[in-house]
Structure 1
Amino acid sequence: MVLPADVASETSEKPARLPLPTHFFGRDFYYGWYIVGVAFVSSMMSMGITAYSMGVFLKPMTEELGWSRTDISLGQTLTTFVTGILGVAIGRRMDMRGGRALMVGGAVIGGFGFIALGQVHQLWQYYVVRTGLVAVGSIGMGNLVVNVALSNWFVRRRGRAIAIGVMGTSVAALVLPTVANWMIDVWGWRAAWAAIGVAVWVTVIPSALLAMRRRPEDFGLRPDGDGVPVEGARVSARVASDVRWTRQTAARTWTLWMLVATFGLASTGMGALLLHLIPYMTDAGFTRAQAAGAFGMIGVSGLLSKPLWGIALDRFPVRRCAAAEFGLMGLGIALILTSHTLAPLYASIFTLGLGIGGVVTVQEVVWADFFGRLSLGTVRSLAQPFTIVSSAGGPVFAGFAYDHFGSYTTAFHLFIATYVAAAVLILLTPTPARPASAD
């Protein structure tokens, strides 16, 4: 629904025209759902590839090139560091100009990066491609860009919108490992990377060019398509948090640093699990096809749980939802360590996937609820370099643990502990006081 004339004049002298239709069969269609569609595609082809497909490539690449698992894992870690640094640079730009150009540029560069991965022969080449082309592409197509956009277009339905948008990662987890394994068997891992790069170009670039836009006020609309603010305690809390934060005012709150610590702990094991879980299963005696199929259970449970996480986040306190998500992650890892046949392994990874299904949705809603949507890119980019340290260290620590101890058991036990600590810490995190400039 459009804004009243007096409100529209505050956001823009002349609202821009929407690029896609918003009226079907006599009914209005809120443009924000197009943004959800772009987020779905982008999350599937960015995090879906870097997080859920890399594990399938790990063994073929190490066996042909003679690298260790620590070598491959270090590439993942360096990529994470670079994306964290880039996140600082693009955060404020997201708030001011939106993410359309960033997403298109990220898709162009990222596609070249995946193709280039199939051409590496030396370890230094792999590191250059991962930290250059792949890292730049990942930040442009990644969670910071798409979820800041979603948080701008949705307030009341923020949980559901983000949950649906990031379901692309669950589809990727369900489909991409099996497809990548098939391509490796038929074409080899080098051609498989090339095919993935082309797929990024033909999916992300058109959708971002056509539909991605900054925020509803630019077009005379309100978040969620509302004509007037919707009353209600839960909604009022979110609307009240929509004030301007600078990096300085956010950095002076306990909330920011407690969230940094919480998500730093929670992210320690995430990248490591996604990279090393398939090798863990093949080391345990399962075939690569069986491991890829079991890994796909993350996608199955993620598809089932993401809408539920979205509904829960719109109805229940975000702290409790986050603690539950961390608890499921820790439980899933513990069950995997005790699974020695295929059926229990499927069930264990399904449990892990229930937690993974809430990772992005929970994190984005937590940040948006605590700090509002108007400065979300600024605040998120301030926190990102600090959380990067732990998330970057997880994969290389798991690779180091395997290379030196002969198994992943030590690393997996550490990850269980970090999820328990994160669950406790999020429950203790206070709501930040409004900055003085907002009064």
Structure 2
Amino acid sequence: MALPGNTSTETIERPARLPLPTQFLGRQFYYGWYIVGVAFVSSMMSMGITAYSMGVFLKPMTEELGWSRTDISLGQTLTTFVTGLLGVAIGRRMDVRGGRALMVGGAIIGGTGFIALGQVQELWQYYLVRSGLVAVGSIGMGNLVVNVTLSNWFVRKRGRAIAFGVMGTSMAALLLPTVADRMIDAWGWRAAWAAIGVAVWVTVIPTALLAMRRRPEDFGLRPDGDDAPIEGAPVSARVASDVRWTRQAAARTKTLWMLVATFGFASTGMGALLLHLIPYMTDAGFTRGQAAGAFGMIGVSGLLSKPLWGIALDRFPIRRCAAAEFGLMALGLTLILASHTLAPLYGSIFTLGLGIGGVVTVQEVVWADFFGRLSLGTVRSLAQPFTIVSSAGGPVFAGFAYDHFGSYTTAFHLFIATYLLAAMMIMLTPAPGRPASADQALAA
């Protein structure tokens, strides 16, 4: 049975049954919001841990094991690099089969990886765990799987849906550094890693098994829970962009490479700041508890700003929203460098968090708006290895700068410049034309 007005060429012979209720108190509830809930949990326990908790572990691990900060940072870089390569392999699979199996497998492997981090004795073991178990787990639970799925379930409300889904990372930034700090004080860093691994198992696996599904069309539904469009009614730009792209067709567009450059510049400092900001503060004389509390302001501002970013992305020009996000990150980092007491530091990190709060939402909505949802996994996986190069280098560069200059100042100034370059690049990025021929718009 073909869905009326569906822009896809797919047909659905027998729509599957939804696994959870969509009627509450006599009112219809769109199933896509369950997907948002799964995204919240998964983003909190994947990126939330790898990005926001590692900084708390950095000093205890280096002090006990005798490693340098560059050594620890290289583990972060290896994780980022491997997830980028794996993204190429899973992008097409996401478009065809969805992400439930990937998320469940990622949670099993990732949880095991976090437990294994608590057992490492040698540097090579740390690198093996980070580039193997943790990296594989991260790609299964991470942004590509989560946000491609959300973009399939939402079109008109895409910005809000992705914003609410990735609020899990902000909740992680608010809670996990302090929780990890308390666990390290009470049990030691090894037991703290084990507790985090178990937490991944008991949260992500059941929610993904129960609720994660590929596309609304598989259940006879339309994105956003909409009814079939009226014949001749105007179609939104987002719906009109839902055409199929092959990798070859996407690679021939200027848009793809401009976006690669934009998000490459923007991501250079992201992983580095999340890893090194707490050590930067403790080096400045703050206690680890004070630093973890200040770092939590990223979570506070992210929780407050993510819904606003989602609404803004659904209402205002997307390029201006993205440029504003990058500008806030540059401003926040500039203020951090100028802050020498706790109160201004809280305000500076809050400002940085306003920008970080839009990072995932803006990026995912940009890709989906420009290339549509039907081949989003394919297009995103094509671009990911290139942006990975810059994002993987940031943590190592910051660690190298500290080990050789005794300060993070040089690295932080470079990151300010890359955010400003990203703001300029996104404003210059054109929308792609539609694929020029049927050969470039193959059915899945």
Q: TM-score, normalised by structure 1?
A: 0.97
Q: Which residue of 1 aligns with 2:71?
A: 71
Cα deviation 1:133-170 (Å, max 9, x = unaligned) = 00000000000000000000000000000000000000
Contact 1:83–1:138 under 8 Å retained in 2: yes
The residue identity in structure 2 corresponding to 1:288 is: R
Q: Which residue of 1 aligns with 2:276?
A: 276
Q: Distance in 1 between matches of 2:177 and 2:425?
A: 34
Q: Which residue of 1 aligns with 2:221?
A: 221
Q: Which residue of 1 aligns with 2:257?
A: 257
Contact 1:298–1:356 under 8 Å retained in 2: yes
The residue identity in structure 2 corresponding to 1:40 is: F
Q: Which residue of 1 aligns with 2:193?
A: 193
Give yes or no for the alignment of 1:132 onto 2:136.
no
Give yes or no for the alignment of 1:427 onto 2:427.
yes
Q: Which residue of 1 aligns with 2:326?
A: 326
Q: Which residue of 2 aligns with 1:344?
A: 344
The change in CA–CA distance for 1:6 and 1:54 in structure 2 (over 3 A counts) is closer
Cα deviation 1:54-102 (Å, max 9, x = unaligned) = 0000000000000000000000001111000000000000000000000
Q: Which residue of 2 aligns with 1:37?
A: 37
Give yes or no for the alignment of 1:374 onto 2:374.
yes
Contact 1:3–1:227 under 8 Å retained in 2: no
Contact 1:174–1:296 under 8 Å retained in 2: yes
The change in CA–CA distance for 1:310 and 1:6 in structure 2 (over 3 A counts) is closer
Q: Which residue of 2 aligns with 1:386?
A: 386
Percent identity for Structure 1 against Structure 2: 88
Cα deviation 1:114-148 (Å, max 9, x = unaligned) = 00000000000000000000000000000000000
Q: Which residue of 1 aligns with 2:114?
A: 114
Q: Distance in 2 between matches of 1:43 and 1:223?
A: 22
Q: Distance in 2 between matches of 1:417 and 1:437?
A: 40
Contact 1:8–1:220 under 8 Å retained in 2: no
Q: Distance in 2 between matches of 1:208 and 1:179?
A: 24
Q: Distance in 1 between matches of 2:429 and 2:5?
A: 40
The change in CA–CA distance for 1:244 and 1:66 in structure 2 (over 3 A counts) is same
Q: Which residue of 2 aligns with 1:238?
A: 238
Contact 1:45–1:172 under 8 Å retained in 2: yes
1:9 is displaced (CA, Å) by 10
1:236 is displaced (CA, Å) by 1.3
Cα deviation 1:250-275 (Å, max 9, x = unaligned) = 00000000000000000000000000
Q: Distance in 2 between matches of 1:367 and 1:216?
A: 20
Contact 2:268–2:415 under 8 Å retained in 1: yes
Cα deviation 1:212-231 (Å, max 9, x = unaligned) = 00000000000000002389
Contact 1:337–1:409 under 8 Å retained in 2: yes
Q: Distance in 1 between matches of 2:24 and 2:426?
A: 43
1:437 is displaced (CA, Å) by 3.0
Contact 1:47–1:142 under 8 Å retained in 2: yes
Cα deviation 1:191-234 (Å, max 9, x = unaligned) = 0000000000000000000000000000000000000238997x
Which runs of 5 or more residues in structure 2 are unaligned?
A: none
The change in CA–CA distance for 1:392 and 1:232 in structure 2 (over 3 A counts) is farther
The change in CA–CA distance for 1:247 and 1:5 in structure 2 (over 3 A counts) is closer
Q: Distance in 2 between matches of 1:413 and 1:6?
A: 49
Q: Distance in 1 between matches of 2:167 and 2:400?
A: 32
1:11 is displaced (CA, Å) by 2.6
The residue identity in structure 2 corresponding to 1:374 is: L
Q: Distance in 2 between matches of 1:379 and 1:7?
A: 18
Q: Distance in 2 between matches of 1:25 and 1:172?
A: 32
Q: Which residue of 2 aligns with 1:158?
A: 158
**What's the secondary structure of 2:20's corresponding residue?**
coil
Q: Distance in 2 between matches of 1:200 and 1:398?
A: 29
Cα deviation 1:299-348 (Å, max 9, x = unaligned) = 00000000000000000011000000000000000000000000000000
Contact 1:40–1:166 under 8 Å retained in 2: yes
**What's the secondary structure of 2:286's corresponding residue?**
coil
Contact 1:241–1:370 under 8 Å retained in 2: yes
Contact 2:5–2:229 under 8 Å retained in 1: no
Q: Distance in 1 between matches of 2:326 and 2:229?
A: 33
**After alignment, is 2-11 or 86-95 more displaced?**
2-11
Give yes or no for the alignment of 1:171 onto 2:166.
no
**What's the secondary structure of 1:11's corresponding residue?**
coil
Q: Which residue of 2 aligns with 1:354?
A: 354
Q: Distance in 1 between matches of 2:153 and 2:182?
A: 38
Contact 2:7–2:242 under 8 Å retained in 1: no
Q: Distance in 2 between matches of 1:312 and 1:6?
A: 27
1:10 is displaced (CA, Å) by 5.2
Q: Which residue of 2 aligns with 1:418?
A: 418
Q: Which residue of 2 aligns with 1:85?
A: 85
Cα deviation 1:391-427 (Å, max 9, x = unaligned) = 0000000000000000000000000000000000000
Contact 2:3–2:11 under 8 Å retained in 1: no
Q: Following TM superposition, where does structure 1 have runs of at least 4 consecutive aligned residues deviating by more than 3 angstroms?
A: 2-10, 229-233
Q: Distance in 1 between matches of 2:8 and 2:83?
A: 36
The residue identity in structure 2 corresponding to 1:83 is: T
Aligned length: 437
The residue identity in structure 2 corresponding to 1:29 is: F
**What's the secondary structure of 2:314's corresponding residue?**
helix
The residue identity in structure 2 corresponding to 1:142 is: G
The residue identity in structure 2 corresponding to 1:49 is: I
1:4 is displaced (CA, Å) by 5.0
1:436 is displaced (CA, Å) by 1.8
Contact 1:11–1:218 under 8 Å retained in 2: no
Q: Which residue of 2 aligns with 1:56?
A: 56
Q: Distance in 1 between matches of 2:39 and 2:263?
A: 22
